[in-house]
């Protein structure tokens, strides 16, 4: 299998997670330091040695492609706007980037937490949706969800080490959190898209995002110089980026970097694209107030206090997913 390919100008490092999970104390510290440096500089990194099997990833992509090949009517029967579109099918043209009126050229499927914490507010944890046409879709989705949640918790522990926090700082707040597994379908482009792209430039809402290899190129990351850099990965690696929640918590020391998915060249418009990101969210009650050690003496935090649940609802409204309360 080919090794991961990165445009060197993007400055995105590849790290082996086994240095943290199987290494010495010094190995763990070195991994945490390198991951922290990546998130401080470009907000993106890639990891190998994550333990999520190629077989599981391939089987999930197979089922995702089968789901999106269903008829429009079949897919729409699994829409759930009453959950702020956080479960089930979200139709083409529903979501748009914050501050962008043009809808993204995508449709997607969302899966949430099944290991719900005791005494959790179930308003934040609506049930997942089962697809009658694909009986094992839910089982595979949940298996991948649990695998990626486990990887995310390890990565967050390393971030806690980098920030000199207790190692369980994120674990206690994120295990059983309101994370989302999203399967995205970017259909073939059949007419001139004008200003619309598959996914307009944006930053992710959550703590960290884990992306297992997409079926086609298109992901671009904005570099420090403001230029766009292409990112291509395969199933041996998970591309991880810092989200807005982690940026808020660290008073913008760790960067939630702008990224997008661009349209392919005209000769490849007929080619669909699939991707499966995992958005790692904490439990809704977690406070995102800036950590005191991240705020310079004599300065105020860059962002006001807010909980993860409040911030999520605020952002879902901005991107067109939150149900109208009227």
User: What's the token pair of residue 98?
Assistant: 């914050």
324 within a domain of the structure (yes/no)? no
220 within a domain of the structure (yes/no)? yes
323 within a domain of the structure (yes/no)? no
- 161, with CB counted inside 10 A (0-12, 13-18, 19+), is buried
118 within a domain of the structure (yes/no)? yes
Contact 87, 80 (CB under 8 A): yes
Q: What is the pLDDT of residue 103?
A: 84
User: What's the token pair of residue 31?
Assistant: 């991994």
Q: What is the pLDDT of residue 189?
A: 86
Q: Which domain holds residue 24?
A: 5-318
Q: What is the DSSP letter of 10?
A: G
Q: What is the pLDDT of residue 40?
A: 94
Q: What is the pLDDT of residue 215?
A: 57
Phi-psi region of 11 (alpha: psi -120 to 50; beta: other; left: phi over 0): left
Cβ neighbours around 299 below 10 Å, total = 9
Give pTM, 2 decimals: 0.92
Q: What is the pLDDT of residue 234?
A: 59
Q: How many domains does the chain have?
A: 1
Q: What is the pLDDT of residue 104?
A: 85
Measured distance CA(3)–CA(228) in Å, rounded: 22
CATH number reported for the structural domain that contains residue 142 in this entry: 2.60.120.330
70 within a domain of the structure (yes/no)? yes
Local mean pLDDT, 10-residue blocks, the chain (326 residues): 37 88 97 95 92 93 96 96 93 84 89 92 93 95 97 98 97 94 92 78 94 77 84 76 97 94 88 94 95 94 95 89 61
Q: What is the pLDDT of residue 319?
A: 83
């Amino acid at each position: 299998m080919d090794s991961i390919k990165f445009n060197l100008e993007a400055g995105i490092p590849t790290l082996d997670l086994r240095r943290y999970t199987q290494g010495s104390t010094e190995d763990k510290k070195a991994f945490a330091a390198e991951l922290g440096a990546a998130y401080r500089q470009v907000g993106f990194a890639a990891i190998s040695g994550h333990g999520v099997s190629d077989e599981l990833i391939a089987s999930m992509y197979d089922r995702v492609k089968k789901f999106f090949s269903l008829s429009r009517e079949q897919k729409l029967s699994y829409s759930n706007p009453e959950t702020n579109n956080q479960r089930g099918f979200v139709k083409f043209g529903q979501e748009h980037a914050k501050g962008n009126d043009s809808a993204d050229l995508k449709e997607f499927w969302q899966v949430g937490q099944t290991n719900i914490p005791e005494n959790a507010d179930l308003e934040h944890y609506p049930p997942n949706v089962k697809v009658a046409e694909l009986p094992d879709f839910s089982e595979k989705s949940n298996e991948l969800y649990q695998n990626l949640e486990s990887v995310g918790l390890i990565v967050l522990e390393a971030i806690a080490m980098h920030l000199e926090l207790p190692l369980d700082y994120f674990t206690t707040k994120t295990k059983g959190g309101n994370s989302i597994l999203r399967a995205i379908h970017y259909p073939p482009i059949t007419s001139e898209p004008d200003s619309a792209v598959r996914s307009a430039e944006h930053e992710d809402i959550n703590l960290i995002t884990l992306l297992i290899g997409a079926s086609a190129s298109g992901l671009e990351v904005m570099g420090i110089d403001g230029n766009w850099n292409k990112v291509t990965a395969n199933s041996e690696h998970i591309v991880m980026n810092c989200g807005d929640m982690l940026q808020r918590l660290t008073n913008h020391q760790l960067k939630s970097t702008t990224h997008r998915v661009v349209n392919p060249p005209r000769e490849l418009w007929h080619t669909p694209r699939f991707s499966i990101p995992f958005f790692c969210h904490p439990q809704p009650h977690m406070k995102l107030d800036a950590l005191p050690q991240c705020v310079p003496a004599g300065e105020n935090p860059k962002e006001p206090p807010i909980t993860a649940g409040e911030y999520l609802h605020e952002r879902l409204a901005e991107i067109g997913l939150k149900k109208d309360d009227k």
